[in-house]
Chain A
Amino acid sequence: MDLQTITYLVVGASFALYIGIAIWARAGSTSEFYVAGGGVPPVLNGMATGADWMSAASFISMAGLISNLGYGGGLFLMGWTGGYVLLAMLLAPYLRKFGKFTVPQFIGDRFYSKSASTVAVICLLAASITYIIGQMTGVGVAFSRFLGVTKETGIYVGMGIVFAYAVFGGMKGITYTQVAQYIVLILAYTVPAVFISLNLTGNPLPQLGLGSNLSGQDVSLLAKLDQVVVELGFGKYTTSVPGNSTLNMFVYTMSLMIGTAGLPHVIMRFFTVPKVSDARSSAGWALIFIALLYTTAPAVAAMAKMNLIGTVNAGAFTKADIYATESALEYEKRPDWMKRWEKTGLLKWADKNGDGRIQYYNDKSKNPEFLAKAEAAGWKGSELTVNADIIVLANPEIALLPNWVIALVAAGGLAAALSTAAGLLMAISAAVSHDLVKGVFAPDISEKNELLAGKIAMACAIMVAGYLGLNPPGFAAGTVAIAFGLAASSLFPAIMMGIFSKKMNKEGAIAGMIAGLTVTMVYVFAHKGIFFIKGTEFLDLFGGKPDFFFGISPNAFGAIGALVNFAVAFIVDKMTKEPPEHIQQMVENVRIPRGSKAVDGAH
C-alpha cells in the first residue's frame, strides 16, 4: 500500500475514533459536559489536560525549533513545563475554591468591577487569538503535507475543519475524547522517536539515547553532533543560545512559565475538579503526561538534525571528507521525502554554485576559518531551506521509517492542532458571549442568542487567525510564545495579586492589566507589525534596531510586561482607596480549602 493511502486510512481511523467516543459519551447528561472532571479519575483527567494543552506548537513545531536552536531551545522545554509548578501552587487551588467558571468572572468579582472583567476579556481575547494564529500555522503545515497541497490551501482546509470541529462542539468538552486524542498524540510522537533512538544509539528510550554513544562508535551522540554542526559553520549544539544572549533566554523562559499559569483555557481545566486538594495534584498528573512528550522532544530534535545532515552530506557521519564535492548529495538522487515536502513549498533547494548537488551549511557564519574552508570547497551559499515547522512531521520520513509510522505522525499532529484550537475557540466564545455580551452589554439576552453570539465570535476568530496564519509572525511555536507573553503580562499578575494581596484594589488591577498588555503589544507590534499585518512595523520609532530593549526579543517580552503590570498596579493601589471590607473577607476565605463548593456559573 502506498504512503498516501495509509495516511488517509490512519488519519480517517483516528477521526472515526474521536467521533465514536463523542457519540458514546454524549449519552450522559449535559451537565457532565461542563464539569468534565467530576466523575473522571485523576489520571485520565491528567491525560485530557495533556491533550488540551499540547498543541501544534508542542507537537509539530517545538522540536523543529530546538533542532535549529540547540541548547537554547531548552527555553521552550523549561518554560512550558515550569509554569505548571506556578499554576499548581499559586493559582489553581485558590481559583477552584473561588468556584467560578471563567477567568474574567474571577477578576470581575475579586476586583468588584465590571470594567475589570471587561479588561480581562480583552486580555483573554488578545492572548487566545494570537495562540490560534500559531495553531493555524501548524494546521496549515500538517494539512499541506497530508493532502499534498501548498501551505496556503492547507490553511484553508484547516480553517474549515477547525470550525466544524469547534461548532459541532461537545467533542472537545468530553474528557474521554481528549483521552483518546492524548493517546494518539503521544504514540505518534514517541513511536518514531523510539525507532530512531534505537537506530542511532541502540537504546530504545529516547531520553537515554540522547545521552548515549552512537551505535558501534566510541563517541557520544551529542559530542558527534557538536563536531559536525561546527564543521558546517553552525554554533555548537549543546551550548548555543539564541541571539547569544543569556538574558534573553532567561526572560523568554520566565515569560513562557508565567504565561502558562495565566492562560485561560488551561486554568479552566482546574476549575472543574471535585476538590481543592485535587486541583493541587491534577496539575502534577497533567505535567507527568506532558513530560512524556517534552522529555522526548530534545531527542527528536537532535536526532532529526543528525539524520537531516547525514542525508545531504555523506561526509558528516562517515570517514569521508565533509567538504569534498562528492560528499554533498546529488539533487537528482534526493530521497522521496524531499520531493514530497517540496510540493508544500516548505522545503526548497536552489543550486547556487551550479554543481547539481545540495550544500547545506550555515552561510551566515562569522567564523573566518570556516568561511575559508567553505570558499575552498566551492560553496556559494547554503542551498537547502528547511522550514523548522516540518522537522517533526518529516522526521520519520528522513529516518526512512515504515509508512505506517509516517501516517501515525500525521494523525498525531492533526489531533494536537485540532484539540487545542477547538479548546481556545471555546474559551473565546465563552468570554465573548458570557462575560462580555451577557455580563456587560445585554444582561437580558436569551440563552439562544447568547449561544449564537458565541458561535459568531468563534467564526470571526477563525477568519482572523486563518488570515494572519497565511503570513504568520513566526514559526508556530514562536507565535504561540507571543500569546503566552500576552497572557503573562496581563492576566497572571492580576489573578495572583487578587489572591496574594488582600489590599489590591480595582484601580490598581485595571491599571496594571492595561499597562502590562499595552507595553507588551507595543513591543511585539513594533517588530511584527500592527496586529501582525506585514508592512506596519514601527521599529523606526525606537531607533530602528530589533530587540532594542536590552536585546530581548519580542517573543520573550511578556515577563517584562508582567513586571510593568505589577509595578503600575502597586503604585496606583497606593494612591487610591482600599478595597471594601467584604472583598478582603472574600480573599481570606479563598485562601482556605474548607467549605469549597461545586463550581457554578457554568454556561
Chain B
Amino acid sequence: MDDSGKAYWSATLGLLTKILIVWFLVSFGAGILFAPMLNNIMLGGYPLGFWFAQQGSIYIFIALIFWYKSAMDKIDRQFDVHEE
C-alpha cells in the first residue's frame, strides 16, 4: 500500500474509533453500566438511564450512521478514492 493508501486507512480507522466510542458510551455506558446512577435524573416521566436503554440509544445510533456516511464521503474525496 502506498503512503496515501496508508493515510486513507488510518483516517478511516480514526473515524471508526470515534464513532465506536460514542456507540459504546450511549448503549453500554448510559444504558447499562451507569443506568442506576442516571436514573436519579428525570427526563419528563422517564428515569434517564431507563430512557437511554429503551429510547435514547436508538436515536443516537441513527445519528451515528449518518455522521459516519457523511464523514466517510469527505475522507473518500480528500484521498481521491471516491466512486465516480
Q: Which chain A residues have a beta carbon within 8 Å of chain B's beta carbons?
A: 66, 71, 73-75, 77-78, 81-82, 84-86, 88-90, 93, 207-208, 210-213, 220-223, 238-239, 246, 249-250, 253-254, 257, 275-277, 280-281, 283-284, 287-288, 291, 294-295, 298, 588, 591-594, 596
B43 touches A591 (CB 8 A): no
B31 touches A74 (CB 8 A): yes
Contact (A213, B65) CB under 8 Å given A78-B53, A222-B50, A280-B72:
no
Task: Out of A71, A82, A84, A90, name the residue touching B50 (CB < 8 Å).
Answer: A71
| In the complex, residue of chain B having the shortest beta-carbon distance to the beta carbon of A283 | B65
A288 touches B82 (CB 8 A): no
| In the complex, residue of chain A having the shortest beta-carbon distance to the beta carbon of B44 | A211
A89 touches B19 (CB 8 A): yes
**Residue from A253, A276, A284 with most neighbouring chain B CB atoms (10 Å):** A284
Chain B 46-71 per-residue mask, 1 if CB under 8 angstroms from chain A, else 0 = 11011101110111011011101100
| Distance in angstroms between the alpha carbons of A140 and B53 in the assembled complex | 30
Within 8 A of A (CB), among B7-55: 8-9, 12, 16, 19-20, 23, 27-28, 31-33, 35-36, 39, 43-47, 49-51, 53-55
Q: Which 7 pairs, one residue from A and one from B, show the smallest C-beta to C-beta distance?
A: A220-B45, A74-B53, A284-B65, A211-B44, A298-B54, A211-B46, A211-B45
Known A223-B45, A239-B47; 20 more pairs at CB < 8 Å: A66-B54, A74-B53, A77-B53, A81-B58, A81-B61, A84-B61, A86-B23, A89-B65, A93-B72, A207-B55, A211-B51, A222-B45, A222-B46, A238-B39, A250-B33, A275-B83, A280-B69, A284-B65, A287-B62, A588-B1
A71 touches B54 (CB 8 A): yes
19 example contacts (A-B, Cβ-Cβ < 8 A) are as follows: A84-B61, A88-B68, A93-B72, A211-B43, A220-B45, A221-B45, A222-B46, A222-B50, A254-B28, A275-B83, A277-B73, A277-B76, A280-B65, A280-B69, A284-B69, A295-B59, A591-B12, A592-B8, A593-B82
| Distance in angstroms between the alpha carbons of A253 and B5 in the assembled complex | 35
Q: Which chain B residues have a beta carbon within 8 Å of chain A's beta carbons?
A: 1, 5, 8-9, 12, 16, 19-20, 23, 27-28, 31-33, 35-36, 39, 43-47, 49-51, 53-55, 57-59, 61-62, 64-66, 68-69, 72-73, 76, 81-84
Contacts of B19 in A (CB 8 A): 85, 89
Task: Out of B33, B61, B72, name the residue touching A246 (CB < 8 Å).
Answer: B33
Contact (A81, B45) CB under 8 Å given A88-B68, A238-B39, A253-B28:
no
Task: Out of A93, A250, A284, A593, name the residue touching B66 (CB < 8 Å).
Answer: A284
| Distance in angstroms between the alpha carbons of A335 and B58 in the assembled complex | 36
| Distance in angstroms between the alpha carbons of A75 and B57 in the assembled complex | 11
Contact (A291, B65) CB under 8 Å given A74-B53, A85-B19, A213-B45:
no
| Distance in angstroms between the alpha carbons of A295 and B73 in the assembled complex | 29
Contacts of A594 in B (CB 8 A): 81-84
CB distance from B7 to the nearest CB of A (A): 12
B44 touches A85 (CB 8 A): no
| Distance in angstroms between the alpha carbons of A295 and B44 in the assembled complex | 16
A287 touches B8 (CB 8 A): no
A593 touches B50 (CB 8 A): no
CB distance from A275 to the nearest CB of B (A): 5
Contacts of B50 in A (CB 8 A): 71, 74, 222, 238-239
| In the complex, residue of chain A having the shortest beta-carbon distance to the beta carbon of B53 | A74
Task: Out of A82, A246, A277, A294, name the residue touching B69 (CB < 8 Å).
Answer: A277
A84 touches B76 (CB 8 A): no
| In the complex, residue of chain A having the shortest beta-carbon distance to the beta carbon of B51 | A211
CB distance from A490 to the nearest CB of B (A): 22
B65 touches A281 (CB 8 A): yes
| In the complex, residue of chain B having the shortest beta-carbon distance to the beta carbon of A73 | B54
Contact (A89, B53) CB under 8 Å given A250-B28, A287-B61, A592-B81:
no
Contact (A593, B76) CB under 8 Å given A280-B69, A281-B69, A284-B66:
yes
B5 touches A284 (CB 8 A): no
B66 touches A246 (CB 8 A): no
Contact (A298, B55) CB under 8 Å given A221-B45, A238-B39, A288-B62:
yes
| In the complex, residue of chain A having the shortest beta-carbon distance to the beta carbon of B22 | A85
| Distance in angstroms between the alpha carbons of A165 and B34 in the assembled complex | 46
CB distance from B14 to the nearest CB of A (A): 12
| Distance in angstroms between the alpha carbons of A358 and B52 in the assembled complex | 36
| Distance in angstroms between the alpha carbons of A246 and B53 in the assembled complex | 13
Contacts of B43 in A (CB 8 A): 211
Task: Out of B1, B61, B82, name the residue touching A82 (CB < 8 Å).
Answer: B61
CB distance from B56 to the nearest CB of A (A): 10
